[in-house]
Structure 1
Amino acid sequence: MASSKRDLYQNIMDLGLKHKTALVLASTKGLGFGVAKALSREGANVVICGRDEAQLQSALKTIESESGMVSGLPCDVSQLSCLDAVFSHCESTFKPPDILVYNNGGPPSGDPASFGPEDFNDAFHKGFHTAVYSIRKALPHMQKSGWGRILCITSISVKQPIDDLILSNTTRTALTSYIKTMSRQVAKDGITINSMLPGPHDTDRLRSLAASIADQNKITEDQAMKRLAADIPVGRLGSTEEFGAVAAFLCSKHASYISGQAIVHDGGAIRSTF
């Protein structure tokens, strides 16, 4: 597996990311970590963050050993004060971010009828307001320098709503609309804004879901993982390395004509045409 990961990056084109500064939020594991590793391998100076100190140190050690310039600090991206801190850390360690990758954990699942106004207010704060806040903090430097890349990680529920994820469906769809609108406003400044919509990927979060399915159905975790992959046309789950490679391209010099787009990364799972 390690060899195949190296091959993936040995064969990739020069993305023009050397010496760019990238801030990747919620990036000590899972998809965010995959993006941070991909950007670092391409020569970017990367700042990562996450809530768990031990996980943060492990992620920093991994990226340092693989590629190079990385820094980070503990941060709960649902807290605006923490976002202020991580932006300040990025600027003092390297410079203000040329690349912003917004990532955040999803809101809780459940019966759509069970959620009231307070649940939606909380979900919109964590999944929409913090994204807008982060984008607004990143834009001044990008506009001044005449170049910038902003990428938000959302969900395939934007394209195909998932029944028990009404909080995610609504907040991430709102963010997608914001991205589309803002992309038109900043295009003249050399800034692109896009989102990536992940389907099922082999992450700790999905394995936790598989463990729950296994317990409920009296099957093994491996069997549960196979069930989760069964409806994906390519016949398997996505990897964080694959996701990171696509994200790195969208943040590159070669993606300057791609903006305002919601790009699905799901192995063909959703049935929507658009």
Structure 2
Amino acid sequence: MDLGISGRTALVLGGGGGLGAAIAQVLAEEGASVAIADINMQAARRSAEAVESAGGKSVGIQWDLGDLGAVDANVKLVEDSLGSVDILVNNTGGPPPSAVLGQGHEIWSKHFQSMVLSVIAITDRVVPLMKSQGWGRIITSTSSGVITPIPDLGLSNTLRASLLGWSKTLAREVAADGITCNVILPGRIGTERIKSLDRTRAEREGKTVEQTTAESIASIPVHRYGEPREYASMVAFLASAQAAYVTGSVVRVDGGLITSI
């Protein structure tokens, strides 16, 4: 299936590794030029080089999402290098494991700025040009914890959930301009983030990492962790011309993990 995004420009936040790198690669394979933003410049460059080695056009950008003052300059760099942003993939890193009680206000503020305000600010910056072209895709990656809160991920459960209300509201505001806004949430996808969470849980519960991982996999109906490319393929579909009538939605890529309807 031709997704109809060849020649489009995508900006993938957190694109230096894990889900972001897989998303960048799949979008490039569909013919999109991809700007890869990451706080780690070496990771951004590696991801950009992987795209280019496969024949795609890419640029890597060092981008600290906690620095809201850098938004305009970084988006302009994307525009100057690849063209105006047609597809925005809001993929932010997760905070460390934590309870919700006892977290200082400075911790909440720090992660709210990098995980939520950054997404809002970047979206505000790119939407006017999307409107002028009558086409745009805004895809925000969150977590299964926004539907079923995950124990010991209090900061993540809380902050990511706020993006659902934001995205749903935004979808109605820009639908008539040819712009879709959707949230996509991963279950347990085999990335370094999931491996790190498995290690943390193993230490907390006094188990081996192998035991913790086996228990986690046993709770997933398909009995395995997802592949990053499986998640990235859903992002690519939501970015496609064929998904023009899909907006304001929350799409799960979780192997059946979430038990609620």
Common fold by TM > 0.5: yes
Contact 1:158 1:172 in 2 (8 A): yes
Contact 2:49 2:58 in 1 (8 A): no
* The one of 16, 19, 27 aligned to 1:31: 19
Contact 1:197 1:264 in 2 (8 A): yes
Gapped runs of 5+ residues in structure 1? Answer: 1-12
Cα offset for 1:223?
4.5
Q: What's the counterpart of residue 250 of structure 1? A: 238
* The one of 157, 162, 166 aligned to 1:178: 166
Cα offset for 1:230?
1.7
Contact 1:109 1:166 in 2 (8 A): yes
Contact 1:31 1:244 in 2 (8 A): yes
The one-letter amino acid paired with 1:134 is I
Q: What's the counterpart of residue 109 of structure 1? A: 97
Q: Which runs of 4+ in 1 moved over 4 A?
A: 213-216
Shift in alpha-carbon separation, 1:65–1:223, aligned structure 2, 3 A: farther
The one-letter amino acid paired with 1:122 is K
The one-letter amino acid paired with 1:106 is G
Shift in alpha-carbon separation, 1:246–1:16, aligned structure 2, 3 A: same
Contact 2:38 2:61 in 1 (8 A): yes
Report matched runs for 1:196-215 at 5 Å.
196-214=184-202
Please state if 1:194 is matched with 2:146.
Answer: no
1:147-200 residue CA offsets vs partner (Å, 9 max, x unmatched): 000001111111111232222222211111011011001000000000111111
Q: What's the counterpart of residue 127 of structure 1? A: 115
1:57-88 residue CA offsets vs partner (Å, 9 max, x unmatched): 22122111123111112111221133333211
Question: How many aligned residue pairs are there?
Answer: 260
Q: What's the counterpart of residue 81 of structure 1? A: 69
* The one of 45, 51, 54 aligned to 2:39: 51
Shift in alpha-carbon separation, 1:82–1:227, aligned structure 2, 3 A: farther
1:38-69 residue CA offsets vs partner (Å, 9 max, x unmatched): 10000001100112222222212211112311
* The one of 132, 136, 143 aligned to 1:144: 132
Cα offset for 1:99?
0.6
2:101 match: secondary structure: helix
Cα offset for 1:208?
2.2
1:114 match: secondary structure: coil
Q: What's the counterpart of residue 229 of structure 1? A: 217
The one-letter amino acid paired with 1:246 is M
Cα RMSD after superposing both structures:
1.6
Shift in alpha-carbon separation, 1:184–1:199, aligned structure 2, 3 A: same
1:124 match: secondary structure: helix
- Between the aligned partners of 1:101 and 1:111, the Cα distance in structure 2 is 28
Q: What's the counterpart of residue 156 of structure 2? A: 168
1:149 match: secondary structure: strand
Please state if 1:68 is matched with 2:48.
Answer: no
The one-letter amino acid paired with 1:253 is A
Cα offset for 1:222?
4.5
Cα offset for 1:117?
2.9
Shift in alpha-carbon separation, 1:245–1:180, aligned structure 2, 3 A: same
* The one of 158, 161, 165 aligned to 2:146: 158
1:112 match: secondary structure: coil
TM-score by length of 2: 0.94
- Greater Cα offset, 120-129 or 135-144: 120-129
Shift in alpha-carbon separation, 1:169–1:218, aligned structure 2, 3 A: closer
